[in-house]
Amino acid sequence: MAFLKLFGILLCLSITIIACEQLKHKTKPNVLLVLIDDMRHLGEEEVNLIHLNNLAGKSINFRNAFAQQALCAPSRNSLLTGRRPDSLRLYDFYSYWRDFVANYKSLPQVFKENGYDTYAVGKVFHPGESSNFTDDYPYSWTERPYHPSSERYKNYPVCYDRRTKSMQKNLICPVVTKNQPDKTLPDLEILDNTLKILNKRDSEKPYFLAVGLHKPHIPLKYPKKYKDMVPIQNVQPPRFPFKPENLPLVSWHPWTDLRSRDDIKSLNISFPLGTMPHKWTIKIRQSYYAAALYIDGLIGKLLSHINYSNTIVVITSDHGWSLGENGLWAKYSNFDVALKVPLIFYVPGMVPQTMDPPVELIDIFPTLVELSGLGINIPKCRNTNDRSILCYGGKSLVPLMKGIDSSDYFAISQYPRPSVFPQHDSDKPRLKNIKIMGYSIRTKQYRYTEWVNFNSTTFTIDWELIYGGELYNHHTDPDESNNLYTNIHYEPVKKYLSELLRNNYST
């Protein structure tokens, strides 16, 4: 009898402990992070992304969010470690920070170490050397990250070209899905796998689920029906489709990835300063919008499976994409269109609002840690040489969300160049070839950029050796087409912004 009584007490105690553990986990919200590839900040005058706009309407919507570098691997590693490219010493695709610099903790790793199941589906870290060919598994993820099998056909000649009546490796590539290899597309597989994770989870732990969608990254390959949703007669050209006269050459990039596609190659556009024909500008913009609509539809399906009462949802992109503004295409620059991205935070119980101050993608790390109530204190990195295993270079946006921070916000970005004059590797120079770094600061009114001497062996900067400068007043020139750098009337502004940039680029 005494044994049974003792057994009953122990059983009740065990149940209580289990219940407490379950309660502890349930007090932590789930986190869904959606990373879209090459998605610029799109206004409704360009295309109406219904599902993203609906989510933005019930979320904290940051309308001026900027990437740290307009290139996939550096931007993703920066976002997922909360550190600037200078801290990771990654400006291309060919080094892994844990081996090359220090064993810094990543955002999903922090959640994993604090009781979360962490999953990666699709392109979260950039695949390859920059994430150790493992997407940083097992440090960051509970399970091996998932990649769609159909991704191997990314650059196959699967685009039917009416002009040649053949299959080509085109930039513009609307397709019939059932006619594609494997009868599917990568983002469709990514969505299916994500829903399987959500529907089959039986763990009591909260989850951190990162989903990386591939489009609208080129080639602009998407289900054909989305092109019909963007009538070409409604597509507007950029207001300034040519290289501005006062743009320093070091700022220009020749968008070689577009030039290498079969349909664009056939246009014989002069290298490196030639501009896209008007007809093709409209066609590319149409297909980019169509690819964005395709992704928006997939996000809508994903969000229909989310429990909003206990899930934080963050949607953003690794960087933006130029669509012919100032004669430029793709990323590879310090212009707003190449750096500005959507940034939406849905937080249960938080009042929806639209935020205009400039913020940065490295702000996501400390913001999510604070919002999730992990109960850990992560310090701010002292500078880019701070080798602390866990610190962040951005700032938590929670005070801004709650209206208790009135600071003057700004965003700092950068881009490397091998030379002043555009070359074949100006878009994506390898580390050993980088000679110049363009550091850019975006305030509410201005974008200011200095292209300065950079030593890629010692990782040092000579601020006194300037190869070009840019200053744009967004109140009068939102297209960044009128460079005011040499305008004597803006000397005080230039001096102020130069000091602000130089005093803050490393933090």
The span from the CA of 282 to the CA of 238, in Å, is 9
Distance CA 189, CA 212 (A): 11
Please choose, from the candidates 327, 279, 116, the residue with its C-alpha nearest in 3D space to the C-alpha of residue 201: 116
DSSP characters for 299-312? Answer: HHHHHTT--TTSEE
Given the residues 72, 159, 381, 391, the one annotated as active site: 72
Locus of tokens 């057994």: 7
Which residue bears the tokens 């878009």? 427
20 is catalytic: no
Other Cβ atoms less than 10 A from the Cβ of 94: the count is: 14
The residues pairing with 117 across neighbouring beta strands, listed in sequence order, are: 207
Are 392 and 384 spatial neighbours (Cβ–Cβ below 8 Å)?
Answer: no
Can you tell me which residue has the tokens 């295409």? 329
Is the separation of the CB atoms in 334 and 472 below 8 Å?
no
Q: Are 439 and 467 in contact (CB under 8 A)?
A: no
Choosing from 41, 51, 126, 214, the catalytic residue is 126
Residue type (1 letter), 236: Q
Closest to 408 in 3D by CA, of 59, 64, 56, 78: 64
Q: 381 an active-site residue?
A: no
Structure tokens that stand for 19 in this block: 């219940």
Q: What stretches of 336-381 show up as alpha helix (H) in DSSP? A: 336-339, 364-371
What is the sign, positive or negative, of the torsion defined by CA atoms of 253, 254, 260, 263? positive
Question: Scanning the structure block, which residue is given the tokens 């002292």?
Answer: 382
- List strand residue ranges (DSSP E) for 418-497, in order: 436-442, 446-455, 460-473
Token pair 């014989």 is at which residue?
A: 268
Give the type of residue at 482: N
CB 216 within 8 A of CB 291: yes
**Token pair of 262, please?**
């079969």
Using alpha carbons, select from 114, 124, 126, 304 the residue that is nearest to residue 198. 304
Q: Could you tell me where the beta strands, DSSP code E, fall in 188-328?
A: 207-213, 220-223, 311-317, 322-323
**DSSP 8-state secondary structure symbol assigned to residue 233:** G
Q: How far is CA 52 from the centre of its chain?
A: 15
Q: Which residue(s) pair with 438 in the sheet?
A: 415, 451
Nearest to residue 461, comparing CAs of 439, 483, 445, 443? 439
Q: What strands, in cross-sheet order, belong to the sheet with 411-417?
A: 411-417, 436-442, 446-455, 460-473
Active centre residues (catalytic)? 72, 126
